[in-house]
Amino acid sequence: MNFPVYIGIGAFKIHPHIFFEAIAYTVALRLSLRNFRRDTIKPTQRSSIVVAGMVGALIGAKVLVMLQRIDLWWQQRGLF
């Protein structure tokens, strides 16, 4: 068996990270919509919080990779 094992959906083969990340976002959105009525946060504030969290996660992931592989980043700055 070779890793990563790609997931076949019809004629497409999808990387498992993308597949499970899409499932995670779908479940999170569904839970958020379910709890929407009980929460006191306004919808405009909620969307701002979600977008800020996603942007923060993206920036944080890039910073973490750069810190973990600072040697590669220093040699090939265009890689990141």
What would the mean pLDDT of 14-39 be, rounded to a whole number? 89
Residues 6 or more apart whose Cβ sits within 8 Å of residue 73: 66, 79, 80
Euclidean distance between CA atoms 77 and 22, whole angstroms: 29
Q: Do 45 and 31 have their domain in common?
A: no
Q: Which domain holds residue 57?
A: 41-80
Q: Do 45 and 74 have their domain in common?
A: yes
Q: Do 63 and 79 have their domain in common?
A: yes
Number of domains present in the structure of the chain: 2
Q: What percent of the chain has pLDDT over 90?
A: 41
What would the mean pLDDT of 36-65 be, rounded to a whole number? 88
The reported pTM is 0.49
Structure tokens at 25: 């976002």
Contact, 80 vs 73, CB < 8 A? yes
Which DSSP string corresponds to 24-70? Answer: HHHHHHHHHHHTTTT--S-HHHHHHHHHHHHHHHHHHHHHHHHHHTH
Q: Do 45 and 56 have their domain in common?
A: yes
Q: Do 67 and 50 have their domain in common?
A: yes
Q: Do 34 and 47 have their domain in common?
A: no
Q: Do 46 and 31 have their domain in common?
A: no
pLDDT tens for 38-51 read 878 887 888 898 89
Euclidean distance between CA atoms 57 and 50, whole angstroms: 11
